[in-house]
Chains A and B, each alone.
Chain A
Amino acid sequence: MSEGTSFSSPYMFMGMAGSPSYYPYNEDGTMNLTSGFLATGGGKSNPVWEREINYNKRNVNRAFNTISGQLDILEGLYVKQTLSYDYINSRESAWWDPRSNNGAAANGVMQKWSTNSSTLTSQTMANYSKTFAEKHAFSVLGAYEIEMVDKDFGYITGSNFPTYLRPEVENAAVQASSSSVDQTRLMSFVGKADYTYDNRIYVGASFRSDGSSRLAPSDRWGNFWSISSYWRIGGESWFQDGGVSNVLTDAKIRASYGENGTQPNEWYGWQGTNAFGYNYNNSAGMAENQIANPNLRWERNLAANFGVDLTFIDRITLSVDLYNRDTKDLLVRQKVSSVNGFTTMLNNVGAMNNKGIEVNAQFEAIRTKDVNWSIGLNLSHNKNELVELYGSQDRMTPNESGLLQSRVGHSYYSFYVREYAGVDPQTGSETWYKNAEIKDAQGNVTGIDRTVTSSPGQANYILKDDVNPYLTGGITTRLNYKWFDLGLTFTFSLGGNVYDANSWGNSDGGTYNYLGQVPDHFDIDKTWQKPGDIAELPMFMYGNSSAYSSDRYIYSTDHLRLKNMTIGFTAPKSWTDKLHLQKLRIFAAGNNVFTLKDKDLMVVPEVPSYGVSYFEAPQMRSFTFGIEIGF
């Protein structure tokens, strides 16, 4: 079922506005289709009824085939040809019964989708490897690769059915269909060379040239390269001989530098096209559906990475990575002025920088015959900045949400909203800071107007930078004691924020009061009641204006979550031997078991990366019990 409101999903509606007085079955056991359920559709929005008679099913068949042949020409030199064919057939059908809310107006609707997609890849490769004097290992590789993706799509639909008992499209009075064939291609030439000295020192270089059908002909070939190296200091004899190796048992440093490319997800984003199906009055119609972008080119990432791997007393491993990534020709479906007839277009919009650090540590605390206990920790910090926007503007609204802005010098996803200033004690309405620039006679900005207004039109928007967390990470621990095992995985996040954009919950009783239902978090004791009240929440009143965007709805996503927990009992070997089994284990596992978070945050803190949450289905909390038997 879809995640719509009362029509396409009565479940969401029930969750939001359902009343305890609703009942799915009548006293005599029949389905209640007449009373209660005050949504549009009345009785028919009974979710139990909806589940009974409507469905949406999908069948997917997939075959993945690979064939390869290799010819060894000389010692160390071979030529290899690999062909892979991945075929996916997906068939979906959705039925809206005429007796249901969704199907009533059209007297039943059947829709069927069929998609055949195939990916054929071919790689022709020559490789030469040779080790000289036992310590000098060389390897050179050249390859030619192609990738062909073909998608064949068909859709049929029928409505106005003679009987709900036979929901096939051919039985419908009104029938419609559509079909399409789409293709995308990629061609690559790859070269790579490596040299390793005694498994201690490594240097490598690679080069590739990729041509993509998704980019404009003049810019579709991109040349990319990388160099990388490591030095395993722990392999040096002076290291092993030195006193330090008693504590620091192994060490390695790594570095890499190179440029790679990203092609667009859209297959024809550079083409200026007209499409069909814009029919009118029984005449076939055509209309422009995309403006040409003859300069659409590869998005390029120039990445530098420096890392250290350390092992202490053979029990503690620590990896630290520092990176810097400069992205240019960022591929974005950019919002454009709509007076030109289109609201977005695919474009290379600017340059961005990411830098950060990642730490990964493992500690095997106890390692005995009966007890094994290990702890792992990972931390990552990333800083993102939009460095440049091409063209005349220094800011744009990212496609993900109008509540965001991407501005040069700030992180790509930044909130752009009014600044909330609390409740007006006299009127109980929301207020905001004006945040207007104060200018002197010469037009120079001399300050910011911090006075408060209850008129949303007078409140200027401010940029708030902290969408993405400053620090994220996880803690994993695993304990085995004889026949018992316990595993825990915690995840956490610090410094991020989310905009709870669900206006139903945020309207102070206004337009989106949805049939008079009051959201849980409008604690009536905290709302403004009478002039003079210093209240936390504005007056809650039927007919209040709809929610005005402001940082009132921005919440911290700081959280600690028990992501996964497993408890298991393994039968002793003496038992399993009797049963002629290799293994017998009983376990219980839980996902998303508990979460510590800001108490005001109504949504799950694992929100979309752009920091705006609407109606995302949260990750499920699930518990599993099982028996593992090995023969």
Chain B
Amino acid sequence: MKKITQYIKLLSLTVASAALVTSCSDFLDTHSSSTVSTTTAIMSYSDAKNALAGVYDGLQGNSDNVTYYGARMVYYGDVKGDWMQARTLGKRTSSTYEMNFVADNAPVIWSHPYAVIRRANNLIQAIDGGKVTDAKQSSIDNVKGQALAVRALCHFDLLRMYSKSYLNGADANAQYSGIPIILKPTLTATETTESKSGRNTINEVYAQVIKDLEEASILMDVKPVTGYFNKWGAQALLSRVYLQKGDNAKALAAAEAVIASKAYSLWDDDEYATVWSKGGNSELIFEIVNFDSSDWTDREGLSYLISQNGYDDYMLTKKATDYFKANPNDIRVSATIPTSDFNVVNYGLPSFDGDKVWCAKYPGREGGSDFRVNNIYVLRLSEVYLNAAEAAVKLGNTSKTEEYFNATYERSGNPEIANPTLDQVLEERAVELLGEGQRFFDLMRNNKTVDRTLRYGYPSLSKESTVFTRDYFRAILPIPKSEIDTNPVIAKQQNPGY
């Protein structure tokens, strides 16, 4: 009897455990509740829209990754120039400003744009592979166009930072002068570990960027939608790309296409001080939308770095404040008025002789509760006007230079200037686009000397970093050590000097 009870007990236990396992193969197939297989991830228009949000999310960055439009891409274009500077040593922007770096400790803006490129490539490949068919062709095209536009933006940004300026002598066709063009995602571990992409030439990268943007511009809608690329976004970016490449006629044409579309209008002088907290306003062609703390880049992000109430990390140089002091009627002075003197009062932050050194273009989203949450303005109409003005002045087209230059200059409370020079256009760009990551590239493109003598403090700034031209090897970044270590092909293609 005892044995039978024992037997029943054992049997029930065994049955219970057997019930856990339906079959050997199913039992060992597990997956996370928050992932899907890549092979079936994009199978419908709805999936494609999700993937597109993922592409933009990549541009946005997050609190752990601010090496692209979360912060570094924008401040790189400012503090490497002469109108903005790191406040002092040991700040997040200091290494970029000081330019003492070597290959293994330089600021890196490499893996993040390539991660975004991969997301764009996944989407483009799915659409090209015919996996997305359950929507109107124009809707599908609009998605693909945006992925192409973002891919072009990333390749272009990488090129601007890691390669010499297009107009720098005969470099553009030199071997390994560009950055790797990536148009297809690797599929497996073996393919990934063994794929060692080398650098393309500068010309090849420009050709690809322009091809992507031209195609995107055909595929995308014309209607502006806040936070997304449209046809005019691609054209506006094209005008920037052509300008950087020195193709002034095409830069002018692309800029004029955007202006003529009348899809956007310049801010007027009354609203200039208030537009920075209002996304989706009349001038914005492409902005990265950050809604709330689920989007933000937190304390490492651009808004917190640039704010005197945050890390008070970087600010205007003396050169910039001198301009505003000499032009007190320029409404853009307002964009640099400190919102408060909080850190000056409470933490003994220097007051910089009472000069208005803080750029107030990232004041926090209107209606939000936290100044860390701001939209990042990537392309706006003022830049397009000034792209047109710069292209026109180089083409010797006086009337167009005057027209496009004065559009922003007069709007800002200044008297009209007849026949502006290239230097006046560049100064106007510096003022208008201050804090938006453009100044350094303007100087490189035009082969101007970067003179950072007029600054606040920073006695330790080295001689090489105080005055330099685009021929200085640190004007471009070194291919990061992590890439050199994992990619023997590119290891032999490091930028000279590093």
Chain A residues proximal to chain B, CB less than 8 Å: 7, 34, 38, 40-43, 67-72, 79-81, 83, 105-107, 120, 122, 124, 146, 148, 159-160, 173-174, 176, 180-185, 187, 211-213, 217, 220, 267-268, 271-296, 334-343, 345-347, 391-393, 396-397, 402, 405, 456-457, 510-515, 541-546, 548-549
> Do residues A341 and B185 form an inter-chain contact, with CB atoms below 8 A?
yes
Binary flags per residue of B428-456, CB closer than 8 Å to A gives 1, else 0: 00000000000000000000000000000
Q: Determine how close the nearest CB of chain B comes to the CB of A202; give it in whole angstroms.
A: 31
> Do residues B32 and A338 form an inter-chain contact, with CB atoms below 8 A?
no
> Do residues A174 and B292 form an inter-chain contact, with CB atoms below 8 A?
yes
> Do residues B118 and A268 form an inter-chain contact, with CB atoms below 8 A?
no
Determine the chain B residues whose CB is within 8 A of the CB of A457 once the complex forms. Answer: 102-103, 497-498
> Do residues A340 and B31 form an inter-chain contact, with CB atoms below 8 A?
no
Which chain B residue has the least Cβ–Cβ distance from A507?
Answer: B90
> Do residues B482 and A335 form an inter-chain contact, with CB atoms below 8 A?
yes
> Do residues B189 and A338 form an inter-chain contact, with CB atoms below 8 A?
no
Determine the chain B residues whose CB is within 8 A of the CB of A67 once the complex forms. Answer: 13
Q: Determine how close the nearest CB of chain A comes to the CB of B485; give it in whole angstroms.
A: 5
What CA separation (Å) do A331 and B390 show in the bound complex? 55
Contacts A71-B6, A336-B192: A286 and B54 contacting too (C-beta < 8 A)? yes
> Do residues B100 and A294 form an inter-chain contact, with CB atoms below 8 A?
no
Determine the chain A residues whose CB is within 8 A of the CB of B115 once the complex forms. Answer: 338, 341-342
> Do residues B185 and A69 form an inter-chain contact, with CB atoms below 8 A?
no
Q: Determine how close the nearest CB of chain B comes to the CB of A372; give it in whole angstroms.
A: 48
Count A/B pairs, Cβ under 8 Å: 305
Contacts A211-B28, A280-B227: A542 and B369 contacting too (C-beta < 8 A)? no
Binary flags per residue of B260-299, CB closer than 8 Å to A gives 1, else 0: 0000000000000000000000000000010111110001
> Do residues B486 and A397 form an inter-chain contact, with CB atoms below 8 A?
yes
> Do residues B185 and A286 form an inter-chain contact, with CB atoms below 8 A?
no
What CA separation (Å) do A343 and B485 show in the bound complex? 12
Q: Determine how close the nearest CB of chain A comes to the CB of B125; give it in whole angstroms.
A: 11
> Do residues B17 and A122 form an inter-chain contact, with CB atoms below 8 A?
yes
* B160 beta carbon closer than 8 Å to chain A: no
* B414 beta carbon closer than 8 Å to chain A: no
Q: Determine how close the nearest CB of chain B comes to the CB of A71; give it in whole angstroms.
A: 5
Between A and B, 5 residue pairs with Cβ closer than 8 Å are A287-B58, A288-B119, A340-B195, A341-B182, A457-B103
What CA separation (Å) do A405 and B197 show in the bound complex? 22
Determine the chain B residues whose CB is within 8 A of the CB of A276 once the complex forms. Answer: 34-35, 50
* B488 beta carbon closer than 8 Å to chain A: yes
> Do residues B30 and A185 form an inter-chain contact, with CB atoms below 8 A?
yes
> Do residues B89 and A511 form an inter-chain contact, with CB atoms below 8 A?
yes
* B490 beta carbon closer than 8 Å to chain A: yes
Which chain B residue has the least Cβ–Cβ distance from A45?
Answer: B347
> Do residues A173 and B369 form an inter-chain contact, with CB atoms below 8 A?
yes
> Do residues A334 and B193 form an inter-chain contact, with CB atoms below 8 A?
yes
* B14 beta carbon closer than 8 Å to chain A: yes
What CA separation (Å) do A441 and B43 show in the bound complex? 58
Contact of B53 among A120, A275, A285, A515 (CB under 8 A): A285
B170-190 contacts to A (CB < 8 Å): 180, 182, 185-190
Give the 7 A-B residue pairs with the shortest CB-CB distance, closest first: A543-B460, A341-B118, A285-B53, A287-B54, A338-B111, A293-B189, A122-B17
What CA separation (Å) do A40 and B349 show in the bound complex? 10
* B340 beta carbon closer than 8 Å to chain A: no
* B213 beta carbon closer than 8 Å to chain A: no
Determine the chain B residues whose CB is within 8 A of the CB of A70 once the complex forms. Answer: 6, 10
What CA separation (Å) do A564 and B184 show in the bound complex? 59
* B1 beta carbon closer than 8 Å to chain A: no
> Do residues B193 and A106 form an inter-chain contact, with CB atoms below 8 A?
no
Which chain A residue has the least Cβ–Cβ distance from B226?
Answer: A281
Determine the chain B residues whose CB is within 8 A of the CB of A184 once the complex forms. Answer: 30
What CA separation (Å) do A184 and B32 show in the bound complex? 9
Q: Determine how close the nearest CB of chain A comes to the CB of B237; give it in whole angstroms.
A: 19
> Do residues A146 and B31 form an inter-chain contact, with CB atoms below 8 A?
no
Q: Determine how close the nearest CB of chain A comes to the CB of B452; give it in whole angstroms.
A: 15
* B36 beta carbon closer than 8 Å to chain A: yes
> Do residues A280 and B60 form an inter-chain contact, with CB atoms below 8 A?
yes
What CA separation (Å) do A174 and B89 show in the bound complex? 35
> Do residues B89 and A543 form an inter-chain contact, with CB atoms below 8 A?
yes
Binary flags per residue of B10-47, CB closer than 8 Å to A gives 1, else 0: 10011011001100110111111111111101000001
Q: Determine how close the nearest CB of chain B comes to the CB of A283; give it in whole angstroms.
A: 4
Q: Determine how close the nearest CB of chain A comes to the CB of B279; give it in whole angstroms.
A: 10
Contacts A274-B41, A283-B49, A391-B194: A335 and B486 contacting too (C-beta < 8 A)? yes
> Do residues A291 and B6 form an inter-chain contact, with CB atoms below 8 A?
no
Binary flags per residue of B187-215, CB closer than 8 Å to A gives 1, else 0: 11110111111000000000000000000
Contacts A278-B53, A549-B104: A69 and B482 contacting too (C-beta < 8 A)? no
Contacts A107-B369, A339-B114: A292 and B188 contacting too (C-beta < 8 A)? yes
Determine the chain A residues whose CB is within 8 A of the CB of B485 once the complex forms. Answer: 335, 396-397, 402, 405
* B399 beta carbon closer than 8 Å to chain A: no
What CA separation (Å) do A265 and B482 show in the bound complex? 24
What CA separation (Å) do A542 and B400 show in the bound complex? 50
What CA separation (Å) do A548 and B27 show in the bound complex? 51
Q: Determine how close the nearest CB of chain B comes to the CB of A414; give it in whole angstroms.
A: 13
Contacts A272-B38, A337-B490, A339-B114: A281 and B291 contacting too (C-beta < 8 A)? yes
What CA separation (Å) do A80 and B194 show in the bound complex? 50
Q: Determine how close the nearest CB of chain B comes to the CB of A218; give it in whole angstroms.
A: 12
> Do residues A271 and B35 form an inter-chain contact, with CB atoms below 8 A?
yes
B52-68 contacts to A (CB < 8 Å): 52-58, 60
Determine the chain A residues whose CB is within 8 A of the CB of B295 once the complex forms. Answer: 279-280
Which chain B residue has the least Cβ–Cβ distance from A272?
Answer: B38
Contact of B347 among A40, A124, A281 (CB under 8 A): A40
What CA separation (Å) do A398 and B218 show in the bound complex? 46
> Do residues B31 and A343 form an inter-chain contact, with CB atoms below 8 A?
no
Most chain B CB within 10 A, of A41, A337, A339, is at A339
What CA separation (Å) do A479 and B448 show in the bound complex? 81
> Do residues A7 and B483 form an inter-chain contact, with CB atoms below 8 A?
no
> Do residues B114 and A341 form an inter-chain contact, with CB atoms below 8 A?
yes
What CA separation (Å) do A467 and B356 show in the bound complex? 52
> Do residues B35 and A289 form an inter-chain contact, with CB atoms below 8 A?
yes
Contact of B293 among A176, A292, A510 (CB under 8 A): A176
> Do residues B347 and A71 form an inter-chain contact, with CB atoms below 8 A?
no
Q: Determine how close the nearest CB of chain A comes to the CB of B313; give it in whole angstroms.
A: 10
* B105 beta carbon closer than 8 Å to chain A: yes
Contact of B100 among A34, A336, A545 (CB under 8 A): A545
* B350 beta carbon closer than 8 Å to chain A: no
Which chain B residue has the least Cβ–Cβ distance from A274?
Answer: B41
> Do residues B24 and A211 form an inter-chain contact, with CB atoms below 8 A?
yes
Which chain A residue has the least Cβ–Cβ distance from B54?
Answer: A287
> Do residues B28 and A220 form an inter-chain contact, with CB atoms below 8 A?
yes
* B219 beta carbon closer than 8 Å to chain A: no
Contact of A281 among B13, B50, B56, B346 (CB under 8 A): B56
Q: Determine how close the nearest CB of chain B comes to the CB of A626; give it in whole angstroms.
A: 44
What CA separation (Å) do A557 and B248 show in the bound complex? 63
> Do residues B293 and A83 form an inter-chain contact, with CB atoms below 8 A?
no
Contact of B36 among A174, A273, A544 (CB under 8 A): A273
* B130 beta carbon closer than 8 Å to chain A: no
Determine the chain B residues whose CB is within 8 A of the CB of A120 once the complex forms. Answer: 20
What CA separation (Å) do A417 and B31 show in the bound complex? 41
Contact of A83 among B16, B21, B55 (CB under 8 A): B16
